[in-house]
Amino acid sequence: MSTGRLVVGVTGASGAIYAQRFLREAAKHWPEIYLILSDQAMQVAATELGMAPRREDFSTVEWLGADYPQIRLLDSKNYFTPPASGSFRHDGMVIVPCSMGSAGRIAHGISDDLLTRSADVCLKEGRKLIVVPREMPMSAIMLRNLATLAESGVAVIPACPAWYHRPSSLEELADTVVARILQSLGVEQALMKEWMS
């Protein structure tokens, strides 16, 4: 049964468009979204999408093109927020994009900010956790960290867009990854048709 709550983390990995497109779709399905942006995520979004680089200037209108009152921005340094507690029930957490540094800290139980603490809570409580790494090439250490996460029940969905749908824009290309995230969360999506259907 859905709680109507989703936690979304955005790290400083390149690929802010994935976070932007995912949040737009997630807002159609969850009435409460708890958003954790790292400082580096704000800087990357400023570079890649032309967004305000400071958290205090964050606006869903600027980021997503519309007002989404169900998206609640959390301070990444504040542990006194709902996702940091195991008693706070939600449908899962998506980290999109997920830097390899964040993946490594989560894989080794290092909770040094709200994002990694929230992911750690998902692991200890057996809740759905999805990481969307966007990095290449990957070192053996990075691959081991992702394998550790997968062995712990984390869904590792690399930001590898599909081409067989012949996307005609960067947004459509990013949406092929967003579709796979939504499918992993058990949500019906219309962004991408099933192969051969």
Distances (CA, A) of 5 to 30, 77, 155, 195: 6, 21, 18, 30
pLDDT at 115: 98
pLDDT at 197: 60
Tokens of 58: 């964050």
- The series of mean pLDDT values per 10 residues for the chain, 197 residues long, is 95 96 96 95 92 79 90 94 98 98 98 98 98 97 99 98 89 94 92 73
Cβ-based burial of 88 (10 A; exposed 0-12, middle 13-18, buried ≥19): middle
Query: Under 8 Å CB-to-CB from 108, ≥6 apart: which residues?
Result: 145, 148
Domains within the chain, CATH numbers bracketed: 5-184 (3.40.50.1950)
Would strands 129-133 and 155-156 be described as parallel, antiparallel, or unpaired?
parallel
pLDDT at 65: 87
pLDDT at 192: 79
pLDDT at 78: 94
Query: Under 8 Å CB-to-CB from 89, ≥6 apart: which residues?
Result: 3, 5
Cβ atoms of residues 177 and 132 within 8 Å? yes
- Separation CA 15–CA 145 (nearest Å): 20
